[in-house]
Amino acid sequence: MPVGLSGLPTLHPVPGVRLGTTAAGIRKKDRRDLVLIECAPGTHAAAVFTKNRFCAAPVIVAREHLAKAVPRALLINTGFANAGTGEPGLEDARACCAALARQIGCRAEEILPFSTGVIGERFPRERIIAALPACQAALNEKGWAEAAHGIMTTDTVPKGCSRQTRLGSHTATVTGIAKGAGMIRPDMATLLAFVATDAAVTPAVLQACVSAAANESFNRITVDGDTSTNDACVLLATGAAGNPLIDRVEGEAHAALLHTVTEVFTELAQAVVRDAEGATKFITIEVRGGRSESDCLEVAYTIAHSPLVKTAFFASDPNWGRILAAIGRAPITQLDVSKVAIHLNEVRVVRNGALDADYTEAKGLAVMRLPEIRIGVDLGAGYASARVWTSDLSHDYVRINAEYRS
C-alpha cells in the first residue's frame, strides 16, 4: 500500500488543455493504456528528459519535434517502453505521430510521443493507431483523473496535483499527473509527468521554470537508483489566464508561478516515492553543514541507495551503523568524521562522530516503526544543504520486479 496517499485530490481543469483516455489493448486487455493530451493553438511547451544514453525512441522523437514546432498534442502509451528497439522503434513512434497528426489536422512534428513499460520489445503500433479515434472522442477538460489512471504501470494508485495562484489580478491554475513506482532515480525514472498551466509565459521562461522546478523535485527522488530510458517531464502553458505575459526570470509574477509549479512537481515527485514498488516507509534524507550542495547530495544519495540502510528501515531496525557507514563511503573529498551528527526524526543518534550519550535503542525503535521518517545528517563542514526523498526495500519490491514480465 502507498505510504500516506489516499486517492486523487481535486484536479482543476486548465483552459486550453483537453485529455482523452482509452483502452487500446496494447499489452493487456481492458486496461486504460493510451492517453491523448490536446493543446489549444498557441500553447507553449517545455520539457526535461532522461539523461540515460539508451534513451527510448519516443524520447528521441519528442526532442526532435519539440525543437521544430509548438506541440498540438501529446500521445502517451503504457505497456511497452519502445526502448532498445533501434530504427524500427523510431519508425513506430513516428508512425503513431503521423497517424494522430492526420486525424487532428496538424503536422507530425506537432505531436510529442511518450511511452512506458517493458524495455526491448516493439509495441503494437497498429493497436495504438486503431485506438486514436476513441482517444479523441474522449477529449475533455476534466479528463485529468482518467489520464492519471491511463499512464500507470506498476503504480498502485494514480498520482495528481493541482494548485492555483494569483498573477496580479488574474488567477492561474497549475495541474499535473505523474506515473512511476520503480526504476526511479530521475536525472533530468520509469517516470513520466505531464503538467499544464493557463499562465501566459514565454517559451524561454517556461523552460527555465520546468528545469528549476524539476531540479528541486523529480531530481531529488530515488527508489532504486536506476534511471529509466524513458523519463520525461513536460510543462504546457496555454496563456488562457489572461495575465500580463511573464517574459523575464524575475518579478512577483514569475516568482509566484515558479513557486506553484515547484509545489506541484514536488507533490507529484513525493507521490512517486510514496507509491514505490513494495514501499512501507517514506524517508526524507536531509543533509546540512556541507561544504557544497553537491557534497550534501552525494551523502544523501549514498544513504538512499544503500540496500543495507533500506532493508533496515523495512525491518524497523534502528541499525544506525549502516547510515554511518554510508556517510563514510560517500564520494566527497573532505569529511571530518568527528564532526558528524545523525538524527532519526528528533532523536539524536550520533554526536561528534560517535553514539550520543542520551540515545537508547528504544528511542530509535519508536522512530523506525513510523511510516514516515526523517534522517538528519550534519556534516559540520559548512553551510550548504540538500534534501532527497526515498523509500525502504521490501520483499514485495523483489517480487514485483521478478514478476514484471509475467
Active centre residues (catalytic): 190
All cell numbers assigned to 283: 524517508
| Among the listed residues 101, 124, 106, 134, the one whose alpha carbon sits nearest the alpha carbon of residue 35 | 134
Which phi-psi region, left, alpha or beta, contains residue 7 (left: φ > 0; alpha: ψ -120 to 50)? left
CB 283 within 8 A of CB 376: no
Angle separating helix axes 86-104 and 125-137, nearest 10 degrees:
30
Distance of CA 361 to the CA centre of its chain: 35
CB 188 within 8 A of CB 48: yes
Integer angstrom CA distances of residue 372 from 102, 115, 304, 306: 49, 32, 14, 18
Phi, psi of 344 (to 5 degrees): -110, 110
CB 214 within 8 A of CB 264: no
CB atoms within 10 A of CB 238: 22
Phi, psi of 287 (to 5 degrees): -115, 125
Distance CA(293)–CA(383), nearest Å, equals 9
Distance CA(302)–CA(300), nearest Å, equals 6
